[in-house]
């Protein structure tokens, strides 16, 4: 059986699909009531499942009913992909953060399952084989290069 966090995540993603605007406004307490859970459970889902690494941006508004706006970052011809990639990855990146970025690209259908699997295995610590201090730098360079190649082939 699915965990409540998974169910809430899928519910919010379904709302995105129905909305079809790339932006969704929800009320945390209303959603918590709907799922008969604490508002902190909604916060948990938002902070762990709708991260910038996965292509989401969250704005919360205090007062006025406590609305939370979730925006999906869309890549288009006006967005410099190199800038986005360099900003998200930077000079170094941990394995966990890299996996979140890959899963975000997969979820946004920018890459497919095969490409995601290849990226994950290429950035794995065992395959990098370098000393601990420079692994994250090597991982960042490999991940940036792979994403740029995949994106240039998908144009």
How far CA 63 is from CA of 44, 47, 60, in Å, comes to 20, 20, 10
Domain span at 136: 81-153
Q: Please measure the distance between the N-terminal and C-terminal CA atoms of the chain and give it in whole angstroms.
A: 39
Last residue of a domain, one of 41, 72, 103: 72
Q: What is the pTM of this model?
A: 0.57
Tell me: do 37 and 89 sit in the same domain. Answer: no
pLDDT at 65: 59
pLDDT at 74: 60
What is the rounded distance in angstroms from the CA atom of residue 108 to the CA atom of residue 54? 8
What is the rounded distance in angstroms from the CA atom of residue 60 to the CA atom of residue 70? 9
Tell me: do 63 and 86 sit in the same domain. Answer: no
pLDDT at 6: 92
| Per-residue pLDDT reduced to its tens digit, 72-131 | 766 555 455 666 677 778 888 999 989 988 988 888 788 899 999 999 999 998 888 777
Tell me: do 143 and 96 sit in the same domain. Answer: yes
| 69, β-bridge pairs | 25, 59
CATH number of the domain that residue 44 is part of: 3.30.56.130
| Per-residue pLDDT reduced to its tens digit, 20-68 | 777 888 888 899 999 999 988 988 998 888 876 677 778 776 655 568 8
Contacts of 3 (CB under 8 A, 6+ apart): none
Tell me: do 88 and 66 sit in the same domain. Answer: no
pLDDT at 19: 81
What is the rounded distance in angstroms from the CA atom of residue 80 to the CA atom of residue 60? 27
């Amino acid at each position: 059986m699915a965990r409540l966090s998974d169910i809430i995540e899928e519910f919010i993603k379904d709302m995105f699909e129905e909305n079809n605007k790339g932006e969704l406004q929800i009320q945390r307490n209303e959603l918590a009531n709907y799922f008969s859970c604490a508002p902190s459970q909604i916060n948990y889902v938002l902070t762990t499942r709708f991260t910038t690494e996965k292509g989401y941006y969250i704005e919360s508004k205090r007062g006025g009913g406590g609305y939370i706006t979730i925006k999906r970052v869309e890549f288009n011809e006006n967005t410099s992909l190199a800038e986005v990639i360099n900003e998200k990855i930077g000079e170094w990146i941990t394995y966990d953060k890299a996996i979140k970025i890959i899963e975000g690209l997969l979820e946004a259908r920018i890459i497919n399952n095969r490409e995601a699997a290849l990226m994950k295995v290429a950035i794995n610590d065992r395959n990098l084989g370098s000393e601990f201090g420079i692994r994250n730098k090597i991982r960042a360079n490999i991940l940036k290069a792979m994403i740029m190649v995949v994106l240039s082939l998908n144009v």
